[in-house]
Amino acid sequence: MKISLEQNITIMDPCACLVIACHEQGQRTANAQKIEESSGGFLSRFLASRDFTAEPGQCQLLYGVPGIGAERLLLVGVGSGEKLADGKLQKAARALGQTIAKAQLTDVSLALCDVSIAHRSMSEAMEIWLRGILDAQYRFDQHKKPAKHPRRSLEQIHVLPAPENSATNQEEMQGAIATALAITKANDWARDLANQPGNICTPSWLAEQAVHMAAQRGIESEVLGPAEMEELGMHLLLGVAQGSRQEPRLIVLHYRGGAADAAPIVLVGKGLTFDAGGISLKPADKMDEMKYDMCGGAAALAAIQAAADLALPLNITVIVPASENLPDGQATKPGDIHRSMAGLSVEIINTDAEGRLILADALTYAKRFHPDVVIDMATLTGACIIALGHQTAAVLGNHEGLVAELLHAGRSSQDRAWELPLFEDYQEQLKSPFADLSNVGGRPAGTITAACFLSRFTEDYRWAHLDIAGVAWQSGENKGATGRPVPLLVHFLRQRAKAV
């Protein structure tokens, strides 16, 4: 995929497909007005038919428009002439991407810099337009037989800037293009990892992919196996894995783009490559989707990839505890007690609450790197879906500033999160009569008590937790991983890089 910022191309020049924004009847963007004049009123006549109302999310591909050099004209609706709000911008960008993908266009020219976006610069808006287009190109069909007529993919995007762009704005636009490409590449890789079936994506396979990616970018890598985990006392991680024939792995990557003495940002991602629930077996319905229980780990790996591709001046460490959670004669049983790397004993009330167990040992391991901040991400609780649905991730943490940064990054990237409380009162639900704490706190406030469990292992540093259970994948006709929260993480890292 090539994206170029064109300085000497106008909307009247020949091109394969020109994309312009279109307001509702009677209102026009600057580029739409130019085409209206050159085409002898074609747009007015077309809009008068009411076949296209220009609402956000509507697109229309037209051929043979008079007076312009483009072979095709693609209209993307943006609603009224007022500044476009974030939600409508995202809806329009997604619709544009889907239209381009469905039409199998290979070359498009974007004349969208004349659309006013509320609270966003031109370059910020362009990043969202581009991500909507690129995201729709994603396909995961490597396990299907080749199609008789292979789909054509988008190969070239020309970005036509507004005439009043200054050199500074051009630099910002180039940055937006680079960010959109890096996020999409990372997001697609995270989706590829998560969409693989569990018989391929095992803990060792996931580790191999991480090491391969790291080697291509000069990122340091280390993979720990059961012997090293035993030596470290990681009996929570080992306890989850003991019901599987697949050995667990602890994947550790170091990207060193910052000063040698700068404390790293540590990203910890849950890497359950398949979660049957263990002895507390899950219902059969949709259990196939439990291959997505490693989406947090995939996102963490993808984020460090994007940071390296963008050459961010940061030090970043990624830790991914990877295992399966299956039932067999050696599996952890409800009522068993395991001791964590931190020395706390945990009574396992429900073996299906395993993600917090492997994260606990990984979060303890993170302490040795003397982190600036630690952020973990995990498909941790079904309760998060009940609370926030499939639109929004949950964020909780022990540092208000870090939580605020993540919320801002979510808004900026349109990969949104919402804060839930982490009051000390909730810790009461984790009390155990036989161990230092229980791994579940009952049904009330399930997302919060899961984070409370993790907080017991993060008391020595600034930490935040992202529960992505509702946003990491989607079911139904369009089943598949989304890659979230890769956009949020990349925007967080870019904001951190700007402050260096």
Kindly list the catalytic residues: 282, 356
What tokens were used for 339? 């001791």
Token code pair at residue 180:
């959109």
Residue 88, token pair as written in the block: 């409508």
Residue 388: phi, psi to the nearest 5? -125, 0
- What residue has token string 């901040």? 373
Helix 295-309 to helix 486-498 angle (10° resolution) is 40
Asked if 356 contacts 325 with a C-beta cutoff of 8 angstroms, the reply is no
Pairing outcome for strands 249-256 and 315-325:
antiparallel
Strand partners, 73: 18, 62
Distance CA 208, CA 251 (A): 9
Residue 249's H or E segment, with its range, is strand 249-256
466 and 378 Cβ atoms separated by less than 8 Å: yes
Position 235, amino acid: H
Pairwise CA distance, residues 418 & 371, whole Å = 24
Sign of CA dihedral 394, 397, 401, 402: negative
Q: H-helix or E-strand containing 16? A: strand 15-22
Residue that the structure tokens 């026009």 belong to: 28
CB 181 within 8 A of CB 135: no
Q: How far apart are CA 440 and CA 431, in angstroms?
A: 9
Q: Count CB atoms within 10 A of the CB of residue 139.
A: 13
Closest Cα partner for 346 from 431, 261, 450?
A: 431
Q: Which residues of 327-352 are buried (b: 16+ CB within 10 A; e: fewer)?
A: beeebbeeebbbbbbbebebbbbebb
Q: How far apart are CA 179 and CA 181, in angstroms?
A: 5
Q: How far apart are CA 74 and CA 62, in angstroms?
A: 6
| Sign of the alpha-carbon torsion through 497, 416, 359, 450 | positive
241 vs 103, 117, 287, 298, 408, CA distance in Å? 46, 49, 18, 19, 36
- SS3 state at 33: helix
Is the distance from CB of 61 to CB of 72 less than 8 angstroms?
yes
How many residues make up the chain in this entry?
A: 500
Instruction: Check if the beta carbon of residue 190 is closer than 8 Å to that of residue 298.
Output: yes
